[in-house]
Amino acid sequence: MSQAEMDQAEVVKSDTRTDTKQRILDAAEKLFAREGFHNTSLRAITGEAGANLAAVNYHFGSKEALLDKVIARRLLPLNELRRTRLLRVREESRLENRRPRVEETLRAFIEPTMEFRDSEPGADDFMSLIGRALSEPDDTVRKIFITHIKSIFYLLFETLCDALPEICRETIFWRLQFSMGALSHILRTVGKFELSHFPEGVNPLPDTDAMMAMLVPYLVQGMEVR
Amino acid sequence: MSQAEMDQAEVVKSDTRTDTKQRILDAAEKLFAREGFHNTSLRAITGEAGANLAAVNYHFGSKEALLDKVIARRLLPLNELRRTRLLRVREESRLENRRPRVEETLRAFIEPTMEFRDSEPGADDFMSLIGRALSEPDDTVRKIFITHIKSIFYLLFETLCDALPEICRETIFWRLQFSMGALSHILRTVGKFELSHFPEGVNPLPDTDAMMAMLVPYLVQGMEVR
DNA sequence: CAAAGATTCAAACAAGTGTTTAAATCATTC
DNA sequence: GAATGATTTAAACACTTGTTTGAATCTTTG
């Protein structure tokens, strides 16, 4: 019985963990992020992980199932952080009998992303991966990502609607799309610019705090127009 | 002598135009935009164009050279429109002894994009293509795109710096990055959303004017923060 | 018409893809 | 220590990729 079949049958993982699965997940995360899903071969992944070519199909079932695990492994815990913070924003505003504030709402979504990025090793690669997920031409990556992001996105959207009752839902939706575009663009490009592309007097690599200090006011202003 | 060699030698194109080149360019634009560069095979392109497989290598030299032509064919005229409008903004502000306005500067860059999109058939596919160009993991597409967009981007950046002298260049640069992220996100996703992803009460398909009416104020507010 | 050159065509090329298989090895349990 | 099941391994599978080739066809020119 293969590992993939065991997982599908929801059998509890064996107590003696082989770390081959982990090494493959790490290698896949890194390569998917840097080269893209379709430009990364299973041979490249297993080579990087020091595993046999057949290991991916044995442990995960297929390349696509591997991608799902790569995304779910980090996105599910991250979304729990986001959900906790968004619910706290909603609860606090309710207790204080006021509306949620746009800034704290956006921060509740974005800050866990950035903290996550700096905390776990390899998470920066993961951020590039999900930063690109929405713009992947291929259905594979996009659909898997949307599956895992959908509910938290709706919670963010509804909280913003509560924060901005005078603005119609449609306008808020599209402004949120603009914001997601800006955020994902930064997530996938920061640290990837080539020096030659910077005008003089521009620091190529602001740290996370400096980036947040520029990004959040930009997004808040855009959301609150009028 | 192949067509590609003739082009390389800068020989004048034969007066008897085969439209095979055009059909290949159109098919490639469509497929690159919808499936991505690496997910599109030459067989798919030549099949769509009703041409022989070898036609791409004969007329363009390679798949990569074809991509360059696909991008250059539309981006060079588009950038000329943008340059003309940006230079007019600069000239008018100079004559009136004032600074350029952020809104007219951004419009000078964005409006030609949108008008272009609606004018020529196939241009909507092209917009998806360049909307994704910056986020392609692979160097191929990104480098070709950057080559053709660099100078107009600098002109836009410098004009914004003139418009916002009280804000440091670095901040303006990153806000412009946020704006480019928002713009490219919209360019590549509009019309591609799945209905099921829209919260209720949100119109899935605003037209170009409605989108501009939401996007421009959003970007202007973000650029002008503080 | 005939020569010349541009274009198309079918076929093959070498290389790379994800997946499967069956034997070999390892780990655990009785 | 033998048996059982999980894991690893090398090899092959069927398929797709971009590119090249040399002959066939079309177009233009002399």
Residue of higher predicted confidence among B137 and A101: A101
Question: A31: Cβ–Cβ under 8 A, 6 or more apart, which residues?
Answer: A40, A44, A45, A48
**C-beta neighbour count of A194 within 10 angstroms:** 10
Whole-number CA gyration radius for chain B: 20
Please tell me whether residues B23 and B128 are part of one structural domain: no
Closest residue to C5 measured CA to C1′? B1
- Positions 135-194 of B with beta carbon below 7 A from strand D are none
CA–C1' nearest nucleotide, residue B16: D27
Of A188, A198, A218, the CB nearest to B222: A218
Residue of higher predicted confidence among A97 and B142: A97
| Token output for A73 | 């492994």
Flag whether pLDDT at B194 surpasses 80: no
Residue A107 lies in a domain: yes
Please tell me whether residues B78 and B22 are part of one structural domain: no
Residue B41 lies in a domain: yes
Flag whether pLDDT at A14 surpasses 50: no
**Could you read off the pLDDT of A101-143 as tens digits, one per residue?**
999 999 999 999 988 888 888 888 898 898 888 877 777 888 8
Please tell me whether residues B76 and B54 are part of one structural domain: no
Per-residue model confidence (pLDDT) at position B12: 38
Per-residue model confidence (pLDDT) at position A159: 98
Please tell me whether residues B197 and B96 are part of one structural domain: yes
Residue B39 lies in a domain: yes
Q: Binning pLDDT at 50, 70 and 90, where does residue A203 land? A: confident
Please tell me whether residues B38 and B82 are part of one structural domain: no
A226 CA: distance to closest CA in chain B (Å): 9
Q: Which of A4-8, A107-111, B83-87, B180-184 has the least mean pLDDT?
A: A4-8
Q: Binning pLDDT at 50, 70 and 90, where does residue A222 land? A: very high
Q: Do the beta carbons of residue B61 and residue B158 sit within 8 Å?
A: no
Q: Binning pLDDT at 50, 70 and 90, where does residue B5 land? A: low
Residue B160 lies in a domain: yes
For the residues A15-40, what does the mean pLDDT come to? 86
Please tell me whether residues B34 and B132 are part of one structural domain: no
**Could you read off the pLDDT of B102-115 as tens digits, one per residue?**
999 999 999 999 88
Percentage above 70 pLDDT, chain A: 89
Flag whether pLDDT at B164 surpasses 50: yes
Task: Please state, rounded to an integer, the average pLDDT across all residues of chain A.
Answer: 88
Flag whether pLDDT at A8 surpasses 80: no
CA–CA distance, A196 with A206 (Å, rounded to integer): 16
User: Using the 8-state DSSP alphabet, how is residue B100 labeled?
Assistant: P
CA angle B212, B163, B72 (to 5 degrees): 55
Please tell me whether residues B135 and B103 are part of one structural domain: yes
Residue B138 lies in a domain: yes
CATH of the domain at B108: 1.10.357.10
Task: Please state, rounded to an integer, the average pLDDT across all residues of chain B.
Answer: 88
**What is the tally of structural domains in chain B?**
2
Q: What residue numbers bound the domain in which B37 lies?
A: 3-7+17-59
Per-residue model confidence (pLDDT) at position A137: 75
CATH of the domain at B49: 1.10.10.60
CA–CA distance, B209 with B30 (Å, rounded to integer): 24
Per-residue model confidence (pLDDT) at position B116: 86
Please tell me whether residues B27 and B83 are part of one structural domain: no
CA–C1' nearest nucleotide, residue B2: C6
Residue B50 lies in a domain: yes
Write the burial class of residue A4 (CB in 10 Å: 0-12 exposed, 13-18 middle, 19+ buried): middle
Please tell me whether residues B156 and B208 are part of one structural domain: yes
Per-residue model confidence (pLDDT) at position B139: 76
Residue B80 lies in a domain: yes
Q: Binning pLDDT at 50, 70 and 90, where does residue A55 land? A: very high
Flag whether pLDDT at B14 surpasses 70: no
Q: Which of A96-100, B122-126, B173-177 has the least mean pLDDT?
A: B122-126
**Could you read off the pLDDT of A152-199 as tens digits, one per residue?**
999 999 999 999 999 999 999 999 999 999 999 998 887 666 656 788
For the residues B30-42, what does the mean pLDDT come to? 92
Residue A186 lies in a domain: yes
Please tell me whether residues B84 and B146 are part of one structural domain: yes
Q: Which of B185, B195, B197 to mutate to test the interface with A (most CBs of A within 10 A)?
A: B185
| Token output for A4 | 């993939």
Q: Binning pLDDT at 50, 70 and 90, where does residue A13 land? A: very low
Please tell me whether residues B44 and B88 are part of one structural domain: no
- Chain B residue with Cα closest to A170: B202
